[in-house]
Amino acid sequence: MPRSIWKGAISFGLVTIPVKLYSATEEKDIAFRQVHASDGGRIKYRRVCEIDGEEIPFPEIAKGYELADGRMVILEKEDFDNLPLATTKAVEVVQFVAEDEVDPTYFNKTYFMQADGPGTKPYVLLRDALVKTGQCALVKVALRSREALALVRPRDGLLVMHTMLWPDELRSGEFAAPPETVSVSDAEVTMAQSFIEALSGDFKPEEYTDAYREALEEVVQSKASGVAMPEQTEAPKEAEVVDLVAALRASVEAAKKRRAEGSAAATG
């Protein structure tokens, strides 16, 4: 069982729900080390003070905030622990909202919420009430040295919490919008809709894998064993798209063919 990363309570009106938080995700990536290319020796970094030039052990390193006038304010662990902030040990419910009202761009990280001790019954109460009303709890919480908005919602019999970015942390994407002078025809939109319908289906994440990570693992194993990788066939060059309707029509046919082949393989 993983270790909890935070322990506190949900403030649900006058009801207090003691909870523990567990990280709900983990990135599965290949970890590389920085090495000397000629002999494979690992590259190590030293923490050196720019004033006295001495290497500083980790326990002696503190966090500093540089003021506009150049002065450095040193903050210790106690300063963070004793912040005059109610949300350091509490998940404060500030509003209830429908889940589809929150743009997914705001979501940052997901946590499992586990009832702690006497919090089981009020935990179940909040979970069931959210399910019946179709609402989610918008909360404020302090995690990892910062306060964040978060969305608490029921999922698979438990409560999960998605921490969120603040509005001023989201960049404007106006620069990426196509010029208003560009337009498409009704026929092109219709064919695009046909392509979307041909590939529509239920979301089944277990059907997808990280092909890039798998390819990297093959390369690592190949170099470790001294066996050369088989030559890759050159990918066909994509033709320049001149007629969008014709390209989409061909895409629809290809999508239908792939879906038919996939169904045949599943039943066979």
Tens-binned pLDDT, residue by residue, of the chain (268 aa) = 788 988 989 988 788 899 999 999 888 888 888 898 888 899 888 899 989 989 999 888 889 989 999 999 998 877 776 665 555 567 889 999 998 999 999 999 999 999 998 899 999 999 999 999 999 999 999 886 678 899 999 999 999 999 999 999 999 999 999 999 999 889 888 888 988 888 888 888 888 888 878 888 888 888 788 878 777 766 556 555 567 777 777 887 887 787 777 666 666 6
pLDDT at 125: 94
pLDDT at 234: 66
pLDDT at 242: 60
Using alpha carbons, list the distances in angstroms from residue 81 to 61, 73, 122, 173. 17, 17, 27, 37
How many Cβ atoms sit within 10 Å of the Cβ of residue 257?
Answer: 11
User: 6-27+83-167 — its CATH code?
Assistant: 2.40.290.10
Residues of the chain with CATH 2.40.290.10: 6-27+83-167
If phi > 0 it is left, if psi is from -120 to 50 it is alpha, else beta; for residue 179 that is beta
Using alpha carbons, list the distances in angstroms from residue 99 to 62, 113, 158, 197, 233. 40, 18, 16, 25, 45
